[in-house]
Amino acid sequence: MPELPEVESVARALRQNLAGRRLTGLEAPFAGVLDQPLRTTRRALLDKRLVDVHRRGKYMIASFARDGGDDPAHLMIHLRMTGQIFILDGYRPDKHVHVSFDFEGLPVHYRDVRKFGRLTLVEDPLAPAALAHVGPDMLAVRWPEWRRRVGSRTAPIKAVLLDQGVASGLGNIYVDECLFLAGVRPTTPAAALDDATLREILRRARQVLRLAIDHGGTTFLNFTDFYGKPGNFRRQLRVYGRAGEPCRACGGALAKTTVAGRTSVYCPDCQV
């Protein structure tokens, strides 16, 4: 499932390649991924220029407006498990392309094998009502709020970090990675951690996310970036997906457990 770094890489590419372009066509062979009727979505977006793409956690919000900034409209995109947005020269859409955008002759496709992703018109690009349940972005949350949201929770720290209502953007891959760097076992109750450790988890989470963004994210199954290329952060992973292999720090065997229904890999010696 695309997490914050994967979504950020797509959002940046959309801004770099499409900002200022007018949306001249919008087709939806499978309109079920649209939360509003196709005619409503077309009426809101067509003949407007893309002016910005804002990301919050795992969500992207593309803002459109007519020349001069009039009549703005905002499309929120959640890739969920297998959603992809890309442009490829000579690409012929297959049965999994459910929405195609035409930006003045430049085709951009939304492809989603599982059809779980959603494209939703929202009223506010910065604080849409549809995201009222989502916590602050992991790259923006400040220490006092982080401590308040995390420090009193009795659930395992990994379960707390996976909770998008606490802070948004982290998923299974990057939670395992940041907890390894912070030296914290994923099963440790969040409330058992002191302030210094909570600060270290926040610092390490941001470090991992920024490094993953620089590498275009992580690809295991379906994720590709805007140009159809997989993310290459996989080679940087220290623990995720490596159960039974040697720890890159101490050489001991990595172990795995289950937290919040997700497989978690950790080092029994480096994480206490």
| Domain CATH number, residue 238 | 1.10.8.50
Q: What is the dihedral of CA 42, 63, 164, 266, to 10 degrees?
A: 110
**Residue 117 maps to a domain:** yes
**Residue 92 maps to a domain:** yes
- pLDDT reported for residue 216: 73
The last residue of one of the domains, among 107, 131, 155, is 131
The residues, any chain, with a CB within 8 Å of residue 175's CB and separated by 6 or more, are 158, 161, 162, 186, 205, 264
Residues 124 and 163 in one domain: no
Residues 160 and 124 in one domain: no
Active-site residue flag, 145: no
- pLDDT reported for residue 3: 86
Residues 123 and 171 in one domain: no
What one-character-per-residue DSSP string does 214-270 give? HTT-B-SSS---TTSPPPBGGGG-SSTT-TTSBPTTT-PBPEEEEETTEEEEE-TTT
Range of the domain at 199: 143-266
From 115, 153, 203, 262, active-site residue: 262
Active-site residue flag, 256: no
Distances (CA, A) of 22 to 78, 101, 103, 171: 22, 10, 5, 34
The residues, any chain, with a CB within 8 Å of residue 24's CB and separated by 6 or more, are 46, 47, 102, 103, 104, 105
The number of distinct structural domains making up the chain is 2
Radius of gyration of the chain (CA): 20
Residues 125 and 178 in one domain: no
Is residue 209 within 8 A of residue 169, CB to CB? The reply is: yes
- pLDDT reported for residue 224: 57
Residues 114 and 154 in one domain: no
Residues 151 and 47 in one domain: no
From 2, 5, 128, 186, active-site residue: 2
From 48, 49, 55, 58, active-site residue: 58
Residues 11 and 122 in one domain: yes
Q: Residues 16-42: pLDDT tens digits?
A: 999 999 999 999 999 999 999 999 999
Residues 106 and 216 in one domain: no
The last residue of one of the domains, among 108, 131, 154, is 131
Residues 115 and 172 in one domain: no
Residues 149 and 255 in one domain: yes
Beta bridge partners of 65: 49
Q: Residues 127-153: pLDDT tens digits?
A: 999 999 999 999 999 999 999 999 999
Beta bridge partners of 46: none
Which residue ranges of the chain lie beneath pLDDT 70?
Answer: 1, 217-232, 234
**Residue 138 maps to a domain:** no
**Residue 78 maps to a domain:** yes
**Residue 188 maps to a domain:** yes
- pLDDT reported for residue 89: 77
Residues 98 and 202 in one domain: no
Is residue 154 within 8 A of residue 112, CB to CB? The reply is: no
| Eight-state DSSP code of residue 137 | B
**Residue 271 maps to a domain:** no
d(CA 60, CA 119): 10
The last residue of one of the domains, among 131, 153, 181, is 131
Output the six-digit token pair for 8.
């950020």
| Domain CATH number, residue 26 | 3.20.190.10
**Residue 137 maps to a domain:** no
Q: Specify burial of residue 155 (Cβ count, 10 A radius: 0-12, 13-18, 19+).
A: middle
Residues 171 and 118 in one domain: no
**Residue 51 maps to a domain:** yes
From 3, 6, 8, 177, active-site residue: 3
Active-site residue flag, 95: no
Active-site residue flag, 206: no
